[in-house]
Every structure is written in C-alpha cells, then in structure tokens.
Amino acid sequence: MTYNLIIGDRSFSSWSLRGWLMLEKFGLDFRTTDLSLYDGSYRAVLAPMAPAKLLPVLVCPDGTVMGETMAIAEELNSRHPEAGMWPSDPQARAFARWISAEMCAGFMGLRSACPMQLLHQYVDFPVSDDFKDDLDRVQDLWTRARKRFGADGPWLFGQYSLADAFFAPVAARIAGHGLPVGEVATDYVATVLADPSFRRWRALGLTKSYDPVPYAMDHPTRAWPGPKPLAAQAVEGTDAVNKACPYSGDAITHCLTLNGVTYGFCNETCRDKTVADPEAWPAFMALVAKHS
C-alpha cells in the first residue's frame, strides 16, 4: 500500500522536506506529487481534500487525508510502530517529542529572517536580535539531545528519529545563511547536509529554476556548504555506455558526462538530478563503478 505525499517546491518548502523525510528515512512505500507554491495552482489540487490547505498533505493508502507535519508524524508512528520513528528510551522519546513540537510551534524569528533555501550559502549574513535567541535555543536543545541521548550515532538521539526530520530544515537554514554556531551544532548541520536522503531531496530541487528566485536577499553568496558534488555535465545526444536509464530502465533520451564517460537517462529530470549531485544516487554510482 502506497502513500501519496503532496509537496511544494523542494528548494524552499521546509515543511514539505519534513514530511518527505518521515516517509523516506523510515522506508515507507510512497510517491510524491509535486506542486508549485508560487503560482497558486496548488490550491485547486487541494480543494477536493478540504480542509487541507497547506503543503505538505499526506494521502494515506486507505484514503485518509492529513495535513500538519506533527499530525502526520504521529499518525505514521501509530500505523508503523515497527519502524522505530521515535526513540525507544522513554526519556529520550519524551524529549524528542518535546523539542519537535517546540520546533513546529516556535522559532518564528529564525524562520522569518532566514527562509529555507537550498541553492547557495549567503556570506556574512547578520545575526540580528530578531532571531539570535532562537538560534541560541536551537543550539541548546541540540546540545542537550546529543550529550544526553546521542551516544550511539550522529543524530540528535543517536539513531535517526522523527526529531531529525523536524530539525532538518533548521539545519538547512543555518547552512544556507552561514549562521555562526558552536561545535555541536556545526557537526549536526554537517551530518544533515551529508545525509544521502537530504542530498537527493536537494538535487531534485535543483532541477527546477526560478525567475525571480523566491526569498532572494541582497547578500553575496558562495557555493552550498554540503559535500562537493562530482563534476558531471549535461550533454546533447543519446550515445551512452548504458542502454537503459539506471532509474527506470527506459530508453535513453538525455545524457551527461562524468570523468570522460557518457551516461544516459530516460528524461531530463533523471539527468539533471544526477548532474546536481551524482553521489546522491546509488543506482547511478553503481553504473559508474561498472564503467570505471
């Protein structure tokens, strides 16, 4: 049985990222329906699902429609207790739920001043009084979680939990705005940015361009601070070392080159998401290993 997650623009929709990670990181069977937040068209799609109003929206296999990421998280946890979405330790679980709920309800200064964008990093972005307390609070919560419950892994509670899905957009805001944080937060942000699931989300977002760019700010920028992607380039033609797309198995229509080798894909999006971050896609890297 398959869930349908209706999401907004990947490069900017922090709430959609949360919902997607809840399904992706715990191996649930789902598909996505991608809508634009910026042309108003999503409202018509959601109208038959009232009272759904904002993205993401989850359509469960039994037809149940859900909004609000905290509600989605708890319903998924109820339906899939075997997935271990919250920490098993009662004290860790209570704290994970606490800080996740606080994330949903608070940090409005940080959210307002630093909208999530996954395109680049701003240089010398000022930490104003409007959100300094929020930034300090985030670091305090992360430090408490890591020091008290995080001994068995790199995530907030050691192993990946729903709390990490809730705080992934916060880590992305810190990264995208180059905000100064301490050692614990720096390490946690690096963990989020290096996570293959997060990298795939970002790579898919980069297949779409914007003019104007939402939330653009008058600050200099530099490259995104996550792992540096391999230097792949899109090329014309269909002459590739592989005869079928590594993702779909369909015929080749678009190609890229990497280290002098040309690889083919079944459509522009498959190619472009791979150009954005080749190492984020295991099926492609298996193909590269075969032809290295």
DSSP, collapsed to helix, strand or coil, labels residue 33 as strand
Task: For domain 3-79, give the CATH superfamily.
Answer: Glutaredoxin (3.40.30.10)
* Closest CA relative to residue 68, chosen from 78, 55, 83: 55
Task: Please give the C-alpha separations between residue 13 and each of 123, 177, 214, in angstroms, as whole numbers.
Answer: 22, 16, 11
Lowest-pLDDT range, 40-44, 105-109, 123-127, 189-193? 40-44
Token code pair at residue 275 = 């150009």
- Dist CA 126 CA 248 (whole Å): 45
The rounded distance, in Å, linking the Cα atoms of 32 and 24 is 11
The pLDDT of residue 41 is 86
Q: Who's near 4: CB < 8 A, 6+ residues apart? A: 30, 31, 32, 33, 58, 59
| Beta-ladder partners of 33 | 6
Q: CA-CA distance, 156 to 145, in Å (whole number)?
A: 6
Greatest distance between any 2 Cα atoms in the chain: 57
Average pLDDT over residues 194-219: 97
Confidence at residue 105, expressed as pLDDT on a 0 to 100 scale: 95
Upstream peptide bond of 56 is cis (omega within 30 degrees of 0): yes
Cα 157 to Cα 101: distance, rounded to the nearest angstrom: 16
Q: What is the pLDDT of residues 266-287, one digit of tens each?
A: 999 999 999 999 999 999 999 9
> E-assigned strands of 147-273?
221-222, 233-235, 254-258, 261-265
Helix axes 196-205, 14-24, angle to 10 degrees: 130
The pLDDT of residue 11: 98
Q: What does the alpha-carbon distance between residue 190 and residue 213 come to, in Å, rounded to a whole number?
A: 25
Q: Counting Cβ atoms within 10 Å, is residue 147 exposed (0-12), middle (13-18) or buried (19+)?
A: exposed
Q: What is the reported pLDDT for 65?
A: 98
Percent share of the chain, pLDDT over 70: 100
What pTM does this model have? Answer: 0.97
Q: Is the peptide bond before 282 cis (omega within 30 degrees of 0)?
A: no
What CATH fold (topology level) applies to the domain 90-200?
Glutathione S-transferase Yfyf (Class Pi); Chain A, domain 2 (1.20.1050)
Q: Where are the chain's structural domains?
A: 3-79, 90-200, 232-290
Asked whether this chain's domains 3-79 and 90-200 adopt the same fold, the reply is: no
Task: Give the residue ranges of DSSP H helices in 51-154.
Answer: 69-79, 90-105, 108-113, 129-149
Contacts of residue 184, defined as CB under 8 A and 6 or more positions apart, other chains included, come to 139, 142, 143, 146, 147
- Residue 256 CA to residue 265 CA, distance in Å, equals 8
Q: Which amino acid is at 260?
A: G
Strand-pair partners of 261: 258
What mean pLDDT is reported for the chain?
97
Please report the pLDDT score of residue 126 as a whole number: 96
Q: Which residue has the tokens 């959609």?
A: 16
Going by C-alpha positions, the residue among 271, 225, 23 that lies closest to residue 118 is 225
User: What confidence category does residue 226 fall into, taking pLDDT thresholds of 50, 70 and 90?
Assistant: very high
pLDDT digits (tens, 9 = 90+) for 96-134: 999 999 999 999 999 999 999 999 999 999 999 999 999
pLDDT given for residue 157 in this prediction: 98
pLDDT score for 53: 93
| Amino acid sitting at position 207 | T
Cα→Cα distances 204→103, 118, 280, Å: 25, 11, 10
Q: Identify the pLDDT of residue 211.
A: 93
